[in-house]
Structure 1
């Protein structure tokens, strides 16, 4: 998607430049120019964006169903559940984007709602 957007909107980006990483000289992509710009979206870009939205939707639906399964599994053992106070933000700092697939905040809120 990034390549498609760059090729359709070359005037919105600064020119590419050479940077050095260790002993290697690497060509780095130019950044987006400041200010409000007109962006053209090619049909290929739109098709890729639709596909990405669909994949994200399916990923979220799968995670939600798995979390629901976990909640039901926990509730099989009893309806009085004590959890420790855990900061989800701390988990996000430690695990980054991987925490979104597990979504512990959703599990805790579902447990609270179900009890």
Structure 2
């Protein structure tokens, strides 16, 4: 069995690859810039889903089956733009509580 060098570089000693191991000790902490980027991505994704659902609902009420497609598409675009706009004005807050502290890796050695 061949070892994937990219996955081996991501693995935390004693645990698996972070994307495949739900154990908090297997996870890598995000840098500040990664945290900001991820929060904006989540807002855009949420905007797309909310916009698509709202657009499809309005579209079906106004124009029937074709309106679902047109409204869903227009709503998804508007939702993505809205999520991106919100992402520009909000700053991610650090988690509060003891669970966050326990999930932080103690030390990660990279090759």
TM bracket, shorter-chain basis = 0.3 to 0.5
Highest RCO, 1 vs 2 (Cα 8 Å, sep ≥ 6): 2
Higher share of residues assigned helix: 2
Higher share of residues assigned strand: 1
Could you state the TM-score of these two structures normalised by the residue count of structure 2? 0.36
Could you state the TM-score of these two structures normalised by the residue count of structure 1? 0.35
